[in-house]
């Protein structure tokens, strides 16, 4: 078998270069793996797809996850954490309630608190004083 190529293929300037050079095209066909093996490209594609299968599966899985599923996955972590926090808060509140509430203290009491001796006597007569007499400090007039 002999090859035949069209005559008159330009070899001038790049601008004159024909779009198709059947001579070169025909020759380069010999480099196409498909020229010796027709099923080559199908097998090539099958090999690529076989090796790509895990990555494609990963992408499918990632794409299938919806907003609800993301929230649900968060809930799996957030709900137990919230429950634990609520329990701790409850225990703290209970302990706080068990402690006695502070008694209201008036000003005078605050001033004499911790001082020895009796408190300031009443200015007006009380028990054990002469009736009608004015009592001032510790003296009777």
Partner 1 sequence: MKTSEPTDDAELVRRTLEGEESAFGALVRRYQRAAYAVAVSVTGRHEDAEDAAQEAFLVALKRLEECRAPDRFGGWLMTIVRNRARNLVRRENLRDMDPMPLGARSTTRPPDRSTEDAEMRALLERALAELPEVQREIVLLHDMEGWKHREIAERLGLPAGTVRSHLHFARKALRKVLEPMRDPSAGRKAR
Residue 29 interacts with partner 1 (CB under 8 A): yes or no: yes
The 3-class SS string of 90-132 reads HHHHHHHHHCCCCCCCCHHHHHHCCCCCCCCCCCCCCCCCCCC
Closest CA to 107 of 123, 117, 120: 120
Of 20 and 94, which CB lies nearer to partner 1 in the complex structure? 20
Of 54 and 117, which CB lies nearer to partner 1 in the complex structure? 54
Residues that bind partner 1 (rule: CB under 8 A) add up to a total of: 44
Please say whether the dihedral angle defined by the alpha carbons of residues 74, 77, 82 and 85, taken in this order, is positive or negative.
Answer: negative
Residue 110 interacts with partner 1 (CB under 8 A): yes or no: no
Residue 30 interacts with partner 1 (CB under 8 A): yes or no: yes
Residue 70 interacts with partner 1 (CB under 8 A): yes or no: no
Which of the residues 33 through 62 are near partner 1 (CB under 8 A)? Answer: 33, 35-37, 40-41, 44-45, 47-49, 51-53, 55-62
Half-sphere exposure of 73 (CA within 13 A, CB side): 6
Closest CA to 136 of 128, 119, 124, 118: 124
Contacting residues toward partner 1, per CB under 8 A: 1-5, 9, 11, 13-15, 17, 21, 23-25, 27-33, 35-37, 40-41, 44-45, 47-49, 51-53, 55-63
């Amino acid at each position: 078998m002999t090859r035949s190529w069209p005559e008159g293929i330009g070899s001038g300037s790049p601008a004159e270069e024909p779009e198709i050079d059947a001579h070169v095209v025909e020759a380069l066909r010999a480099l196409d793996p498909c020229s010796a093996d027709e099923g080559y490209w199908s097998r090539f594609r099958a090999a690529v797809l076989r090796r790509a299968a895990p990555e494609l599966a990963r992408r499918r899985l990632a794409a299938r996850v919806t907003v609800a599923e993301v929230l649900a996955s968060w809930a799996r972590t957030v709900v137990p954490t919230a429950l634990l926090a609520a329990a701790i808060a409850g225990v703290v509140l209970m302990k706080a309630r068990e402690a006695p509430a502070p008694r209201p203290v008036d000003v005078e009491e605050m001033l004499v608190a911790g001082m020895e001796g009796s408190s300031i006597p009443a200015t007006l007569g009380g028990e054990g004083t002469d009736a009608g007499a004015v009592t001032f400090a510790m003296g009777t007039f």
